[in-house]
Chains A and B, each alone.
Chain A
């Protein structure tokens, strides 16, 4: 028996990014399912749509992350090749025949197969004290014998904490473009670049080309992250769930930070950390200029120097504070941050960025 019932599913920030889809438009399609690709991180189905003249056009329809969909009882058998469906969705920018499906209804019976809903909040762990190592130092990972990871950042973008609240959408796009000046203490060129990225709805975001989200942005990805504390090796690994399962090393063996102009530049920089009571303080230099370091398109140069502070006041909460110092981009150092929430008893999901995934899956250029 087919599970024809209303099904809510999570819409990942990736899946419905402003860079890919134009949320100011809607598209309604009726067609026959020709292919279903139930693969992480982007589930797609494909339909043939016939117009009034009888011409058939193929559409690629994205409908979420399979791992999130499965949590809501959706399975790979919920939709079948040959089903005639009505789809309402958000079309992709540009001429390609692609959309993000907001709802899918069986044409024959009128039954809704699913509707998009906002991402469900991460289920919070019960309030418990900060887990600690035998010597009393706070643990950033799970308590012994348990598993879990960090997710659900309390802010979608990084802004100067002295600016107060600035209204933005989930991608870091300002609700009001006149707030540009408040986001950070920009040099004139940087303000102009940030404003351009905002005005163009982040269309040039390197993340959409599958480049890594270095800097604070790594902690804003939908699939969370995990700390692996290798105390015997004097290092902490940060495993990132939201950016091609990248990883980053924070050295805690007391080594000095390299000179910023000598390190090999990378997306995640060169990190050395030390504990100040219950706070891990991490100094990071050596960034390249190939990425955006926060949602919303804040610019930076190779002179970017971050001081990150990680504090776990209880089991559930990780406080992330960062000081941004890039004198080639900003007129003064500035601070921002947010809290993250512990996701108990789960591992980070597999996620791999797939550029132009719909054409890759279909093998057809017609979607473009």
Chain B
């Protein structure tokens, strides 16, 4: 009975957690999720965490034990073109280049091309 009550309380508590509010600061800051792949059927889930420190955007891909640190993030704020570079633990170079769209939206997106080693594809991520 106590366990059931505990689960009920947990469920209610989780239900009461409000959805994330929009981040109105630097457009890249925050957590982004989406996928990349060489074809429309071969997709890989990807999560980015990025932060603007006043001079650079830093961050990582897929936070956790297998996370990949971003080596550079270039942003052109006149066009909101974004180029992200990183290296996997297997020494594969990742280069993702895309355009930030819906700048004022709660769930803005970045879409573009993704190169990982010799594999070329596309990616789309949306800010959570």
Contact = CB atoms under 8 A, between A and B. Distances in A.
B66 interface: no
Nearest to A187: B54
A221 B95 CA distance: 46
B52 interface: yes
A191 B103 CA distance: 13
A200 B105 CA distance: 12
A279 B56 CA distance: 38
A144 to B, nearest CB: 42
B27 A193 contact: yes
B92 interface: no
A192 B54 contact: no
Nearest to B27: A193
Contacts of B65: none
Interface centre among A288, A289, A300, A327, by most B CB within 10 Å? A289
B104 A191 contact: no
B24 A196 contact: no
A271 B75 CA distance: 34
The secondary structure that dominates the A interface is loop
B29 interface: yes
B104 A189 contact: no
B106 to A, nearest CB: 8
B104 A301 contact: no
A191 B29 CA distance: 16
Contacts of B75: 189
B21 A211 contact: yes
A187 B78 CA distance: 12
A297 B25 CA distance: 11
Nearest to A197: B104
Contacts of A301: 25-26, 29, 52, 54
B6 to A, nearest CB: 27
Contacts of B21: 211, 288, 290
Given A188-B77, A327-B54, A328-B54, A300 B25 contact: yes
B27 A289 contact: no
A110 B89 CA distance: 79
A206 B26 contact: no
A289 B77 contact: no
A206 to B, nearest CB: 6
A192 B25 contact: no
Interface string B34-70: 0000000000000000001110000000000000000
Contacts of A288: 21
A193 B103 contact: yes
Contacts, number: 56
A290 B24 contact: yes
Contacts of A14: none
B1 to A, nearest CB: 36
Nearest to B28: A189
Nearest to A200: B104
B81 to A, nearest CB: 12
B31 interface: no
Contact of B24 (A188, A192, A203, A292): A292
B9 interface: no
B8 interface: no
Contacts of A206: 22, 24
A226 interface: no
Interface string A292-336: 100000011111000000000000000000000001110000000
Interface centre among A189, A192, A288, A290, by most B CB within 10 Å? A189
B25 A299 contact: yes
A197 B24 CA distance: 11
Given A189-B77, A192-B78, A211-B21, 12 more contacts: A189-B26, A189-B52, A193-B27, A196-B103, A206-B22, A288-B21, A289-B29, A290-B23, A299-B26, A300-B25, A301-B29, A303-B54
30 contacts: A187-B54, A188-B77, A188-B78, A189-B27, A189-B75, A191-B77, A192-B77, A193-B103, A200-B104, A204-B104, A204-B105, A206-B24, A211-B21, A288-B21, A289-B23, A289-B25, A289-B29, A290-B23, A290-B24, A291-B24, A300-B25, A301-B26, A301-B29, A301-B52, A301-B54, A302-B25, A327-B54, A328-B26, A328-B54, A329-B26
